[in-house]
Structure 1
Amino acid sequence: MEIIMDIGTTVLSQLQKPTLSFLIGGMMLAALGSKFEIPPPVYKFIVILLLLKVGLGAGMSVRDADLIALAVPAVAAAVAGVAIVALGTRTLARLNGVSKMDGMATAGLFGAVSASTLAAAMAMLDADGIAYEGFIGALYPFMDIAALVTAVVLGRMSAERATAQGTNASGTVTMGGGAGGPGLNMNSELVRGILVDTLRSPAISALLLGLALGIFAKPDSVYESFYDPLFRGLLSILMLIMGMEAWSRLSELRKVAHAYVLYGLTAPLIHGLIGFGLGLVAHHLTGFSAGGVILLAVMAASSSDISGPPTMRAALPEANPSAYVGSSTGLGTPVAILSIPLWVWLANLVIGI
């Protein structure tokens, strides 16, 4: 009973923080049918500024970081991305009423990272005085790219197998191939194309640019005078937008199987536990901080709201956006953000903050 009270007190105190309160405020505005609107160009501008800030901060920290201390969490992030997609293809993609392609696209989005959720978690830890490694932002691409590539490759291979089976039934084989054959070449070209498209996406591009500038340039003055002071204010506006977007996306889930509702509500918690567990491994191997473990759990619990949807639309056009975007933005993102206090409490219980 004491543990439940402890969790409840932690969650209540976090809900009163600007990050979560603005998210809930946005959902309330949308639920009440408010005409309040922030133009899409402003939203994109805010996202780019936030990602540049995260990238710059991570890059400046990487300059002085121990490469071993960075390498272990980076591997953990990539493993988490692949594991989440693999779990989704074994669960959601096999449920009745869920097409395999829709399930894989959804698993890909849930395996990738929400930059806004990560930024929200960093702001909450800063407000609570919980320390974490400055290079955390550099872990974003490892999990994001690993998840998106895994989901799209599995999706395309499944489509090729289905096509091959269909043509075999009619007596003609046009797809696939043995080791070293055309099927293998097609898959390698597919992976290369996905990597290029993902790296060129606005979110990853902004993050990697900030990372590179932080490592190879000296942006400390502009970071401290411009990006850092604006961070929390811009984040509150972004949370407001995300709350309104999440509520509007809920209507899209009516068009698809109820399995997506269950997945959207439970997957962030399961994925967060995967990230938390891998973070604990890094903690014991390299002294990865409790704050770092929390943020790795948050990244795993989050679902991509920027780089993922356009990647899936381009690489898996057969998949239904109402399924993967609706379950991700409509349910996954709010659950991931609202679960941040849970990871804080768990880290305090297991590691101590």
Structure 2
Amino acid sequence: MDFLSLFFMDFIKQLQSPTLAFLIGGMIIAALGSELVIPEAISTIIVFMLLTKIGLTGGIAIRNSNLTEMILPVLFSIITGIAIVFIARYTLAKMPKVKTVDAIATGGLFGAVSGSTMAAGLTVLEEQKIQFEAWAGALYPFMDIPALVTAIVVANIYLSKKQSRMTEELIREESFAKEVVMAGEYHSSPDYPTTRQEYLSQQQNKSKKGVQIWPIIEESLRGPALSAMLLGMALGIFTRPESVYEGFYNPPFRGLLSILMLVMGMEAWSRIGELRKVAQWYVVYSLIAPFVHGLIAFGLGLIAHYTMGFSMGGVVILAVIACSSSDISGPPTLRAGIPSANPSAYIGASTAIGTPIAIGICIPFFVGLAQALMGG
């Protein structure tokens, strides 16, 4: 009963907080057909400032902390990001009318991290006066990059195997050789296979090239979200930015976050229509996955808490970034890495349902769970 009462109390407080209020407000005015438009340039600047501030906070904290304290949380962040992709691969991908490559891309987006959701979680912890390590926000890239890399690698391996099976089936067909021989107009092209053996050889050569890991990592690092955060982190570690941090980045943090929540609420409502184009299982997945992913990270965080003194606030942050789904850097990275995947599936599932669930329900849920455990 203590947990339930704490959870409902925190949930009511969260409903009254600017973070969720602006998110819900954005969805309401979008549903009512409001013509309010926040210019994309303004949203880009807000995201840059929020993530740079989080990076600066983490960088300054890393410079002043014992790095050994970060080992388990960093390791658990990597494990969680990778595990989320495989969860989608072997659950969502098995559902009727769900394409495997779309499910893998969805897992990659849910395994990657939402900077806005993390910012909302940090704000709630500060409002609740729950202590957490200042470097906890620096766990972002350790979950984000492995998830995106894993999704792209797994998807390309799947597509490569699928192509190989299709090739073998074509070779088994007797008509294949006849059709190629009859297509005389293509014989002058050196790239066109004139025999079954040549066709098979070309496909085998393609499969041997494999999936290049570094270009995927490079693409992720170049994304606007990670670039801003890593820049802030590097400046916090190697320079002394405390004066500009306290004078410029820290004061407007919550105000900028409220505007971003408004924008995300409006976008979430606009994306709901995209989910109608894909299987209903994406809706089910989007409702359940944030809780499952967050609970996995929360459990791993408890191990770090009891073995290395990782704070309960830090455990909540680990759970929050796990229940989030990337809304900035993830979509363009997946579009480039898995071009055959349907963006309406993974972006619609993330933005329309996953993000509101993570911010509106999962954050107060994990805060309540942490407080119940600390109180017990």
1:30 aligned onto 2:30:
yes
- Residue equivalent to 1:316: 338
1:173 aligned onto 2:200:
yes
- Residue equivalent to 2:227: 205
- Alignment-mate amino acid for residue 158 of structure 1: Y
Quick one: which of 273, 294, 315 aligns to 1:272?
Answer: 294
- Residue equivalent to 2:180: none
* Bigger Rg, structure 1 or 2: 2
The Cα offsets for residues 289-330 of structure 1, whole Å up to 9 and x where unpaired, read as 010000100000000001110011111111111100000000
The residue correspondences of 1:144-293 to structure 2 (distance < 5 A) are 144-171=144-171, 172-174=199-201, 183=207, 185-187=209-211, 189=212, 191-293=213-315
What is the distance in 1 between the residues matched to 2:66 and 2:325? 29
The 4+ residue runs of structure 1 with deviation greater than 6 A are: none
The Cα offsets for residues 265-300 of structure 1, whole Å up to 9 and x where unpaired, read as 111011110110111111112100010000100000
Q: 1:79 to 1:220 in 2, by over 3 A?
A: same
Q: 1:283 to 1:2 in 2, by over 3 A?
A: closer
Q: 1:231 to 1:176 in 2, by over 3 A?
A: farther
Task: Judge conservation of contact 1:160–1:175 (CA < 8 Å) in 2.
Answer: no
Task: Judge conservation of contact 1:161–1:176 (CA < 8 Å) in 2.
Answer: no
Task: Judge conservation of contact 1:271–1:300 (CA < 8 Å) in 2.
Answer: yes
Residue 186 of structure 1 and its aligned partner are, at CA, apart by 2.3
- Alignment-mate amino acid for residue 241 of structure 1: V
Task: Judge conservation of contact 2:268–2:353 (CA < 8 Å) in 1.
Answer: yes
Task: Judge conservation of contact 1:160–1:176 (CA < 8 Å) in 2.
Answer: no
What is the distance in 1 between the residues matched to 2:282 and 2:359? 18
What is the distance in 2 between the residues matched to 1:151 and 1:260? 17
Task: Judge conservation of contact 2:3–2:372 (CA < 8 Å) in 1.
Answer: no
What is the distance in 2 between the residues matched to 1:71 and 1:2? 32
What is the distance in 2 between the residues matched to 1:74 and 1:94? 31
What is the distance in 2 between the residues matched to 1:3 and 1:313? 41
- Alignment-mate amino acid for residue 231 of structure 2: L
- Residue equivalent to 1:87: 87
What is the distance in 2 between the residues matched to 1:41 and 1:20? 23
What is the distance in 1 between the residues matched to 2:312 and 2:2? 23
1:304 aligned onto 2:326:
yes
The Cα offsets for residues 20-49 of structure 1, whole Å up to 9 and x where unpaired, read as 111111111111111111001100110011
What is the distance in 1 between the residues matched to 2:219 and 2:372? 41
Instruction: Give the number of aligned pairs.
Output: 348
What is the distance in 2 between the residues matched to 1:182 and 1:289? 49
What is the distance in 2 between the residues matched to 1:45 and 1:175? 47
- Residue equivalent to 1:326: 348
SS at match of 1:351: helix
- Alignment-mate amino acid for residue 22 of structure 1: F
- Alignment-mate amino acid for residue 173 of structure 1: L
Work out the percentage of aligned pairs sharing the same amino acid. 51
Taking structure 1 as the reference length, what is the TM-score of the superposition?
A: 0.95
The Cα offsets for residues 186-213 of structure 1, whole Å up to 9 and x where unpaired, read as 22x2x11101111111111111111100
Q: 1:176 to 1:92 in 2, by over 3 A?
A: farther
- Alignment-mate amino acid for residue 110 of structure 1: F
Unaligned runs of 5+ in 2: 172-198
Taking structure 2 as the reference length, what is the TM-score of the superposition?
A: 0.90
Task: Judge conservation of contact 1:59–1:135 (CA < 8 Å) in 2.
Answer: yes
Residue 173 of structure 1 and its aligned partner are, at CA, apart by 2.8
- Alignment-mate amino acid for residue 368 of structure 2: W
- Residue equivalent to 2:132: 132
Residue 351 of structure 1 and its aligned partner are, at CA, apart by 3.2
What is the distance in 2 between the residues matched to 1:22 and 1:271? 25
What is the distance in 1 between the residues matched to 2:84 and 2:41? 32
What is the distance in 1 between the residues matched to 2:44 and 2:266? 15
Q: 1:248 to 1:4 in 2, by over 3 A?
A: same
Task: Judge conservation of contact 1:164–1:174 (CA < 8 Å) in 2.
Answer: no
What is the distance in 1 between the residues matched to 2:126 and 2:203? 51
- Alignment-mate amino acid for residue 365 of structure 2: L
- Residue equivalent to 2:371: 348
The Cα offsets for residues 125-149 of structure 1, whole Å up to 9 and x where unpaired, read as 1111111101112110000001000
SS at match of 2:38: coil
CA RMSD in angstroms comes to 1.5
What is the distance in 2 between the residues matched to 1:111 and 1:184? 28
- Residue equivalent to 1:141: 141
The Cα offsets for residues 75-96 of structure 1, whole Å up to 9 and x where unpaired, read as 1111110111111101001111
What is the distance in 2 between the residues matched to 1:228 and 1:221? 10
